[in-house]
């Protein structure tokens, strides 16, 4: 299993950020906090449509060592980024405006900014801080290293400023909303709410069924190990650029289609179909724009697939000797829909999925926003390695750089890891 990217233990991660903190600031941090990346099992591009998604928190996490300091300056170092950066928290300005924070510190300054903007901490009350960051979440791989960074900082600030929000799920939902705001407004990435919810609200051994209309969550038992299964994550290492116009364009087309259909969000369309009040064909017949038709067909059918998949997970007999052929198709169908109708796949993602299926995966799909990033394959546990080898060979055969692999099982949420 040497080809699999390992996840750091609490001790490993804490030792790394403590060492980086000491070297950078010649001091001891107040503590160390960590937050997981996430992988979405099913329900893609549904979050900003008020739909359903089913992420799990990865064992791979971002660690931060943080010390509060007088004043309103944040000093930041990351093992993944060069140099020491300094940001004035009072000067944090929205992306695209004069004074916008450049680069990765926007995610950190953005969280402090959003906590105050959302009224979770009184304006101007959060302390400045020194922070050292290190992470084993692959960057830009669609596994949400950005949310892992924001959420680790959110729980750290919550702790040092005694906000008490991380103590329960309702508070964590508010922290997640602040992290979304930080990413949208300060970092300038128009992402939905799935990533931050997974990182802050997941439960070990469970997938998180997130209802993006009202933020309600349900923890759905997902014990792959007991079922003799593994979820292989294939990071294609092809760049994905969610900050560019494609993601924003998908959102805008969905919003336009919802307006034409007279609904607040495309979620309502999926609910109406489920309730038997209309059919997908009838809905599509009301749209004259071909692009809108295809995007709507994806969103509506994807929400249905989440419901189907969750129903299978809830059925204990379905997991025992899981009749995979009867449910893993939903992963395959999700991929086809994202490739054909939503047009967010890429040649690398398609190759990863095809090669994994040919090597015996029960189902496989791209995951995350797309345009590069990662795919997942649901495999018998003992097939994880051979499937990874097959995918690697397919990439080599196509002249592509080797992908990276990791195994995902459902881990717990962001929190303090020492002290
Ligand atoms: P993804 O969330 O899929 O990994 P994004 O493009 O959304 O990809 O986020 C990646 C960005 O998040 C990086 O370019 C960087 O700005 C920031 N980031 C994530 N993790 C770290 C880290 N450990 N140190 C510094 N910046 C990070
Ligand atoms: Mg991200």
pLDDT tens digits, 65-114: 999 999 999 999 999 999 999 999 998 888 888 888 899 999 999 999 99
Nearest CA to 61 among 168, 144, 156, 132? 144
- What are the structural domains of the chain? 10-222 (3.30.230.10), 229-408 (3.30.70.890)
Nearest CA to 18 among 107, 129, 134? 134
- Which pLDDT value is given to residue 202? 98
Assess whether pLDDT exceeds 70 at residue 235. Answer: yes
CB 199 within 8 A of CB 144: yes
Neighbours of 288 (CB within 10 A): 8
* DSSP string covering 186-240: IS-----SHHHHHHHH--TTEEEEEETTTTEEEEEE--TTTTTEEEEEEE-----
Label residue 105 left, alpha or beta by phi (over 0 means left) and psi (-120 to 50 means alpha): alpha
Q: How far apart are CA 116 and CA 175, in angstroms?
A: 11
Assess whether pLDDT exceeds 50 at residue 1. Answer: no
Q: Using pLDDT thresholds of 50, 70 and 90, give the confidence band for residue 243.
A: very low
Taking only the tens place, the pLDDT of each residue in 133-173 is: 999 999 989 899 999 999 999 999 999 999 999 999 999 99
Query: Does ligand 1 come within 6 angstroms of the Cβ of 104?
Result: yes
Q: Using pLDDT thresholds of 50, 70 and 90, give the confidence band for residue 306.
A: very high
Report the chain's mean pLDDT, rounded to a whole number. Answer: 94
Which of the residue ranges 183-197, 279-293, 336-350, 386-400 would you say has the lowest mean pLDDT? 183-197
Higher pLDDT, 239 or 281: 281
Q: How far, in Å, from the CA of 140 to the mean position of ligand 1?
A: 6
Which of the residue ranges 143-147, 185-189, 375-379 would you say has the lowest mean pLDDT? 185-189
Residue whose Cα lies nearest atom 5 of ligand 1: it is 140
The SS3 call for residue 175 is helix
Residue 147 CA: nearest ligand 1 atom is 2
Query: Does ligand 1 come within 6 angstroms of the Cβ of 149?
Result: yes
- Which pLDDT value is given to residue 64? 98
Which backbone phi and psi does 55 adopt, to 5 degrees? Answer: -80, 160
The side-by-side arrangement of strands in the sheet containing 216-221 is 52-53, 206-211, 216-221
- Which pLDDT value is given to residue 419? 60
- Which pLDDT value is given to residue 313? 86
- Which pLDDT value is given to residue 247? 85
Q: How far, in Å, from the CA of 300 to the mean position of ligand 1?
A: 30
Assess whether pLDDT exceeds 90 at residue 213. Answer: yes
What CA–CA distances, in Å, run from 3 to 244, 344, 389?
31, 27, 9
Query: Does ligand 1 come within 6 angstroms of the Cβ of 139?
Result: yes
Higher pLDDT, 414 or 239: 414
Testing ligand 1's pocket by substitution, the residue of 40, 145, 148 carrying the most ligand atoms inside 8 A of its CB is 145
Assess whether pLDDT exceeds 60 at residue 253. Answer: yes
- Which pLDDT value is given to residue 356? 98
Nearest CA to 50 among 253, 255, 238? 255
Q: Using pLDDT thresholds of 50, 70 and 90, give the confidence band for residue 359.
A: very high
Query: Does ligand 1 come within 6 angstroms of the Cβ of 345?
Result: no
- Catalytic residues, by residue number, are 195
Q: How far apart are CA 371 and CA 339, in angstroms?
A: 10
Q: Using pLDDT thresholds of 50, 70 and 90, give the confidence band for residue 58.
A: very high
Assess whether pLDDT exceeds 70 at residue 240. Answer: no
């Amino acid at each position: 299993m040497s080809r699999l990217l390992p996840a750091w233990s609490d001790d490993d991660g804490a030792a790394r950020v403590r060492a980086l903190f000491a070297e950078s600031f010649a001091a001891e941090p107040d503590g160390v906090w960590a937050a997981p990346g996430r992988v979405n099992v099913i329900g893609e591009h549904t979050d900003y449509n008020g739909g359903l998604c089913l992420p799990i928190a990865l064992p791979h996490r971002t660690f931060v060592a943080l010390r509060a300091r007088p004043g309103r300056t944040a000093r930041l170092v990351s093992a993944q980024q060069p140099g020491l950066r300094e940001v004035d928290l009072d000067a944090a300005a929205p992306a695209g405006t004069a004074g916008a924070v450049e680069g990765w510190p926007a995610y950190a300054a953005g969280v402090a900014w959003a906590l105050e903007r959302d009224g979770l901490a009184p304006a101007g009350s959060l302390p400045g801080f020194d922070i050292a960051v290190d992470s084993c979440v692959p960057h830009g791989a669609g596994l949400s290293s950005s949310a892992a960074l924001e959420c680790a900082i959110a729980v750290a600030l919550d702790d040092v400023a005694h906000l008490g929000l991380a103590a329960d799920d309702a508070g964590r939902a508010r922290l997640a909303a602040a992290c979304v705001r930080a990413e949208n407004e300060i970092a300038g990435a128009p992402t939905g709410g799935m990533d931050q919810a997974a990182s802050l609200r997941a439960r070990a051994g469970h997938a998180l069924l997130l209802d993006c209309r009202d933020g309600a969550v349900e923890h759905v038992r997902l014990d792959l190990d007991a079922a003799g299964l593994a979820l292989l994550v294939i990071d294609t290492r092809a760049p994905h650029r969610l900050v560019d116009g494609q993601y924003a364009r998908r959102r805008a087309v969905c919003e336009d289609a919802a307006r034409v259909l007279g609904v607040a969000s495309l979620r309502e369309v999926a609910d109406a179909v489920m309730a038997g009040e209309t059919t997908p064909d009838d809905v599509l017949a009301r749209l004259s724009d071909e692009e809108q038709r295809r995007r709507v067909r994806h969103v509506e059918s994807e929400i249905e697939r989440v419901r189907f998949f969750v129903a299978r997970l809830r059925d204990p007999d379905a997991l025992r000797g899981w009749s995979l052929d009867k449910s893993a198709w939903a992963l395959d169908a999700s991929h086809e829909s994202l490739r054909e109708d939503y047009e967010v796949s890429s040649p690398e993602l398609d190759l990863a999925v095809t090669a994994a299926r040919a090597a015996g995966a029960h189902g496989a799909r791209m995951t995350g926003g797309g345009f590069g990033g990662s795919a997942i394959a649901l495999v018998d546990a003992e097939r994880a390695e051979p499937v990874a080898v097959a995918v690697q060979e397919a990439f080599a055969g196509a002249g592509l750089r080797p992908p990276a692999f990791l195994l995902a099982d459902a881990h717990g949420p962001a929190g303090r890891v020492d002290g």
